[in-house]
Copies of this chain bind each other. A is one copy, B any other.
């Protein structure tokens, strides 16, 4: 069993791409090899089994979930008024469209979680932590609304993203920018 950490990471990243593009059905060692541009058989040398590979993907994908350092800093420095909310949400939305494959892979993993307790535990922990961080941040920022405000935002935006990624035609009459405005109006009522 080989242990080159960079190569291992590259293989996991390649597996995420494969998951998003070909679905769980297409996730094979050979497909990962091809995606990573390494010789056939390499993934066999780095993961004991397909399950092992999926577990490592679940552990690794959370780094693609959260905002990057730059984005966190921008949010930190933004004015703490309701007017800032649309900008934050728009930034989130842009990140999603950038990380399209990452979010699709995460959806595949969620479905995998219904079948594999190990994946369920890993993802639950990672996503809970992300949500809690958002709630804490929001409460500490002094912006209007309580923890359920953040949860409602999480719910709405999550499905807005799914709809956009999978069946963009469904909400053609209700584009994301519009729905973000609607949500802002609902959650942050005028004084």
Residues on A facing B (Cβ under 8 Å): 21-25, 27, 104, 107-108, 110-115, 120, 123-124, 127-128, 131, 148, 151-152, 154-160, 162-163, 165-167, 169-171, 174, 178-179, 182-183, 186-187
Contact = CB atoms under 8 A, between A and B. Distances in A.
Copies in the complex: 2
A148 B179 contact: yes
A162 B161 CA distance: 13
A169 B104 contact: no
Contacts of A178: 148
12 contacts: A110-B162, A120-B166, A120-B167, A127-B167, A127-B170, A152-B186, A155-B156, A155-B157, A158-B159, A159-B159, A186-B186, A186-B187
Contact of A24 (B25, B154, B155, B170): B25
Nearest to A156: B155
Given A151-B171, A155-B159, A158-B159, A104 B113 contact: no
